[in-house]
Amino acid sequence: MDTSRDDVGIAFRSALLSKSSKQRFSLFGLVILSILFIFAESLELKAFNYLRSFIKDTIYRGSIIVSAPSKTFSSITKTTAEHINLYGDYTKLKLENDKLKDNSSKLKFLELENTQLKNLIDEQVATTENFVSARVMIDKQSPYLNSFIINIGSNKNIKNGMAVLDGSNFIGRIVDVNFFSSRVLLVSDLNSRIPVIIEPSANHAILNGHGESEATLEYLPEVHKLQNGDKVFTSGKEGIFNVGIPIGEVKIDKNAIKVLLFSDLSQISFVNINVNKMDDK
Amino acid sequence: MALFSDRLKFNFFNYLPVFLLFFISLNGKSTVEFKFLSLNIHYILVYFWVLRQPQRLGYGFIFLSGIISDVIFGLPLGISALSLLVIAAVAAYVRVVTVRITLINDWISFIPALLLANFIYFLSLYFSGLSVDYLYLFKNSVFTFIFYPILWVIFSLTLNIMRS
């Protein structure tokens, strides 16, 4: 019994502690280093933040270079597929265009009516001039974080919590800021919780991300009159985002009230970051 | 000329595991997703090479590749590094206690490596305050295990070319 325990001990020491097989580092030492790294993540020291920012910026740049061939390959594949589907797309777009032309005249009338009504009640129209544009640098979908990296960071006064928009639609918020890059956590992510308001019922709720599947509305009042197609906007309740940034529309499913986003999160190349509120603070 | 070509070939195959390891990390391709299928090629790569040819895949490189994966995927630094090192540790232990290495032996011993690494991964994510998709983690573990023999064959062929 003692002998077999000794054998296990020797095997364990040989595998983990000794620097065998021309290894420069001990496995045990590196495991300890990894654990220290994980604990260091929770420390908010200035020196650590600088070091983290430097490491992340360097790796992001390296990733861009390494992923260039695969990016080129996928873009060639995409272009080829687009050329093959050209005729089908043309017919579809023609029909869509006719439909849009019809809707356009209705929309112009509604816009005019809306402006007149707003003037009437002296409502303050939110300004949208304080935007900073950025390019999506790396878009690697992680199983845990639906996020991407943009090419601006603290060099352009980007701060954690700022709202990120695709055109005028809300798609996420800043969660990690480095010197020359930032991470955007998308609304579809498991960890994303956004306070929203649903129009026309004016119910408040929390938009909860679920990774691959659609985001859902939670914490709705027990009695609500939501319908398919109701529009979802940011409520601005947390005091960081502006009020009334469009997010998506309601789709009532069997078990959950889902939200179909206005923006296709897999097709984003450029984003706008709303720096309004954070500057005020 | 022939000598130069042989040397180039030798160096290419000698550094292939390290090259693949960093390519996967920097490209963010450690998990391959295809419809409902999801497998972690990072784990398989580390397990195979530490088990069969540890001198070609240093622990330092494995650690560094884990850190890169964490940065690319936006996870707290050290989580992927730790789980990859756990895989490497199990592989190193199996190498020490096993006399004859076969596909079946490798495949079966890959189960505890996978379970332990995913358990560490889950714990680290949980304590870092990140939500965990349990179904995804389970699905990923099952498919990584199922697809191990395919990659085993590919890597074994590479190894044979290296030896020849």
Q: What is the pTM of this model?
A: 0.72
Query: Testing the interface with B: which of A32, A34, A39 to mutate, by most B Cβ within 10 A?
Result: A34
State the pLDDT at residue A159.
Answer: 85
Residue of A nearest to B73 (CA): A142
State the pLDDT at residue B9.
Answer: 74
Residue A266 lies in a domain: yes
Q: What is the radius of gyration, based on Cα positions, of chain A?
A: 25
Residue A38 lies in a domain: yes
Three-state DSSP state, B53: coil
State the pLDDT at residue B28.
Answer: 80
Q: A40 in contact with B at a CB cutoff of 8 Å?
A: yes
Is residue A255's pLDDT more than 80? Answer: no
Residue A19 lies in a domain: no
- Cβ–Cβ gap B26/A66 under 8 Å: yes
Query: Testing the interface with A: which of B22, B71, B73, B75 to mutate, by most A Cβ within 10 A?
Result: B71
Residue A165 and residue A278 in one domain = yes
- CA atoms within 13 A of residue B48's CA, in its CB half-sphere: 27
Residue A184 lies in a domain: yes
In angstroms, the separation between the Cα of residue B128 and the nearest Cα of chain A is 8
Residue of A nearest to B136 (CA): A143
Residue A68 and residue A91 in one domain = no
Q: Is A236 left (phi over 0), alpha (psi -120 to 50) or beta?
A: left
Residue A136 and residue A255 in one domain = yes
Look up residue A80 and give its two tokens.
């080829």
Residue A255 lies in a domain: yes
Residue A161 and residue A270 in one domain = yes
In angstroms, the separation between the Cα of residue B125 and the nearest Cα of chain A is 9
Q: Please, what is the Cα angle at B104 between B103 and B106, to 5 degrees?
A: 65
The number of domains in chain A is 3
Look at A7-21, A26-40, B26-40 and tell me which has the smallest mean pLDDT.
A7-21
Residue A136 and residue A39 in one domain = no
> For residue B33, which residues of chain A lie inside 8 Å, CB to CB?
141
Integer angstrom CA distances of residue A73 from A191, A270, B41, B149? 32, 21, 21, 28
Q: A144 in contact with B at a CB cutoff of 8 Å?
A: yes
* ipTM of this predicted structure: 0.83
Residue A98 and residue A136 in one domain = no
Q: What is the mean pLDDT of residues A262-272?
A: 83
- Cβ–Cβ gap A41/B74 under 8 Å: no
State the pLDDT at residue A280.
Answer: 46
State the pLDDT at residue A12.
Answer: 67
Q: What is the mean pLDDT of residues A160-187?
A: 87
Q: Which of A56, A70, A144 sits opposite B71 (nearest CB)?
A: A56
Task: For chains A and B, count residue pairs whose Cβ atoms are closer than 8 Å.
Answer: 142
> For residue A66, which residues of chain B lie inside 8 Å, CB to CB?
22-23, 26-27
In angstroms, the separation between the Cα of residue B74 and the nearest Cα of chain A is 7
Which amino acid is present at B139? K
Residue A222 and residue A278 in one domain = yes
Residue A95 and residue A135 in one domain = no
Q: Which of A15, A62, A144 sits opposite B75 (nearest CB)?
A: A144
Residue A201 and residue A276 in one domain = yes
> For residue A143, which residues of chain B lie inside 8 Å, CB to CB?
31, 38, 133, 136, 140
| Buried-state track B119-155, b at ≥16 Cβ within 10 A, e below 16 | ebbeebbeeeebbebeebbebbbebbbebbeebbeeb
Residue A72 and residue A90 in one domain = no
- Residues of chain B under the 50 pLDDT cut: none
State the pLDDT at residue A102.
Answer: 81
Residue A105 and residue A243 in one domain = no
Is residue A139's pLDDT more than 80? Answer: no
**Which CATH number covers residue A267?**
2.40.10.340
> For residue A213, which residues of chain B lie inside 8 Å, CB to CB?
none
State which residues form the domain around A226: 131-281
- Cβ–Cβ gap B92/A55 under 8 Å: no
- Cβ–Cβ gap B78/A67 under 8 Å: no
Query: Long-range contact list for A124-127, CB < 8 A, 24+ apart?
Result: A126/A242, A126/A243, A126/A244, A127/A276
Is residue A249's pLDDT more than 70? Answer: yes
Residue entry with tokens 């895989």? B87
> For residue B59, which residues of chain A lie inside 8 Å, CB to CB?
23-27, 30
What's the distance, CA A215 to chain centroid? 12
Confidence of residue A277 (pLDDT cuts 50, 70, 90): low
State the pLDDT at residue A279.
Answer: 46
Residue A111 and residue A204 in one domain = no
Residue A126 lies in a domain: no
State the pLDDT at residue A151.
Answer: 87
pLDDT in tens, A211-238: 766 888 888 887 777 888 888 888 877 7
Q: Please, what is the Cα angle at B107 between B106 and B111, to 5 degrees?
A: 110
